[in-house]
Amino acid sequence: MKLFLDTSSVDVVRDHLSTGLIDGVTTNPSLMLKEGKDPHEVIKRMSDLFEDDASISAEVTADTAVEMVELAQPYINIGSNVTIKVPCNNVSLNFIRN
């Protein structure tokens, strides 16, 4: 079993990481933007807290596969522990299949 925090707060992640129970974080960049935070910076800071085997999700939402790929670009080089989270819809599933 793996445990993931669902938060956009680096401080919350840092506080809970010391338990040794947290395997990663699932985030919502659109909520970060509404809070005035830079999603790229937040996910970078979270990524730096974990080893490579963790998973820090960076969600992208868009109407087309091309837009999803464009939104994912800033996250790709942050670290090997960053996972791009796409919506489960026909556009993303067809893109992934091809």
Kindly report the three-state secondary structure assignment for every residue of the chain: CCCEEECCCHHHHHHHHCCCCCCEEECCHHHHHHCCCCHHHHHHHHHHHCCCCCEEEEECCCCCHHHHHHHHHHHHCCCCCEEEECCCCHHHHHHHHC
- Residues with catalytic function: 85
